[in-house]
């Protein structure tokens, strides 16, 4: 019994020592962990500000692909330089449409079914027909991207003097807004066409500045109805001088510089030499691309001859060609207008195509 008691006392003493050691270890562990938590908090305070992100660098300025420009210019000339083509000029500013694109435009006025296809059809039908023509031109020349355009007569020559005594009528801005909305539906651009009558470009162009300051809006002027002699529009063929064209181009160039726009296109309608005088004095600018548009109607041989005499023989910069759905087939036996393949045989290949 004594031996058992002694053993029991010994075991009891060991358990007590173990228990004390365990409690001491827990206290030491708690003392050790507490400072670690405090140190961790003090190293990265919750209120420390996050580092500011590095500023995003501005995008690089646009650059003109001069190699493509040269290649497409020669493509327009069937890869052969002749008749003073190509015209010597500085490269355009970046964003230039020509010669990177061919423009196919529908011409007219919404108030008249006789002035062109733009006013002959309901808007949806007109846009669908335009898109069909764009596809034909794209198939005929796959090297040049084709884009649609609406060419709206915003100042129309008149047979009567009107209140201004200038034989011209300005369209309301709501009609220009309508044109912009329609063009947006087909990802197209817009041309505002001016027939000055007895007015002047200096009087008419500034009226359109809010629209010409838009990157997708361009300008066209019509010498046929510029009546410098004071005669009634339509009674004789009118004329613009190089000074008139230079004024229009300079006005557009200033808008391009002021609003940091891509180059503007200036279209001049022409089907006789007398419609444009002193063509050699027309000044070319990097901000503006000038198109001489053959505006005559008739059977193919007549149109091609007018193109050669009035446009090709007096080179300015780029060329255009107009096709009439009705007037081009008035002379038997012609019962259809020229096809894209026919027009593309011309020298130079026109980059602006207009349907009336």
Span 18-34, pLDDT tens digits: 343 444 444 444 444 44
* pLDDT score at 147: 98
In the chain, pLDDT over 90 holds for what percent of residues?
A: 80
Residue from 88, 68, 102, 79 nearest 321 by CA: 102
Confidence class of residue 46 from pLDDT cuts 50, 70 and 90?
A: low
The lowest-confidence range among 4-8, 215-219, 311-315, 326-330 is 4-8
| Angstrom distance (rounded) from CA 13 to CA 5 | 12
* pLDDT score at 327: 93
* Tokens of residue 279, six digits: 């063509």
Q: Which domains does the chain have, with CATH numbers?
A: 79-355 (3.20.20)
148-173 residue pLDDT tens: 999 999 999 999 999 999 999 999 99
For residues 199-205, average pLDDT = 98
> Tokens 């027009």 label which residue?
343
Confidence class of residue 58 from pLDDT cuts 50, 70 and 90?
A: confident
> Tokens 């691309």 label which residue?
289
User: Helix or strand or coil: residue 269?
Assistant: strand
């Amino acid at each position: 019994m004594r031996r058992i008691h002694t053993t029991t006392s010994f075991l009891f003493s060991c358990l007590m020592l173990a228990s004390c050691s365990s409690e001491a270890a827990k206290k030491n562990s708690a003392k050790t962990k507490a400072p670690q938590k405090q140190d961790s908090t003090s190293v990265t305070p919750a209120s420390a500000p996050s580092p500011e992100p590095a500023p995003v660098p501005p995008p690089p300025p646009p650059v003109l692909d001069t190699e493509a420009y040269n290649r497409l210019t020669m493509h327009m000339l069937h890869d052969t330089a002749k008749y003073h083509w190509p015209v010597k000029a500085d490269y355009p500013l970046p964003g230039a449409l020509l010669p990177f694109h061919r423009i196919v435009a529908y011409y007219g006025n919404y108030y008249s079914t006789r002035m062109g296809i733009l006013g002959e059809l309901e808007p949806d039908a007109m846009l669908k027909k335009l898109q069909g023509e764009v596809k034909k031109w794209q198939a005929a020349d796959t090297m040049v991207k084709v884009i649609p355009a609406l060419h709206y007569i915003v100042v129309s020559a008149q047979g009567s003097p009107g209140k201004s005594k200038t034989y011209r009528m300005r369209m309301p801005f709501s009609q220009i807004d309508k044109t912009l909305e329609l063009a947006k539906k087909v990802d197209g651009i817009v041309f505002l066409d001016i027939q000055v009558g007895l007015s002047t470009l200096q009087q008419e162009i500034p009226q359109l500045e809010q629209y010409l300051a838009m990157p997708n809006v361009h300008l066209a002027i019509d010498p046929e109805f510029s009546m410098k002699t004071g005669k009634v529009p339509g009674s004789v063929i009118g004329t613009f001088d190089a000074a008139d064209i230079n004024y229009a181009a300079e006005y557009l160039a200033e808008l391009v510089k002021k609003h940091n726009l891509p180059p503007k296109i200036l279209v001049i309608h022409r089907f006789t030499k007398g419609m444009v005088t002193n063509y050699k004095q027309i000044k070319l600018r990097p901000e503006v691309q000038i198109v001489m548009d053959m505006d005559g109607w008739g059977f193919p041989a007549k149109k091609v001859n007018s193109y050669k005499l009035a446009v090709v023989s007096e080179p300015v910069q780029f060329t255009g060609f107009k096709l009439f759905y009705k007037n081009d087939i008035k002379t038997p036996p012609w019962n259809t207008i020229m096809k894209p393949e026919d027009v593309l045989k011309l020298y130079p290949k026109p980059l602006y195509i207009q349907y009336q």
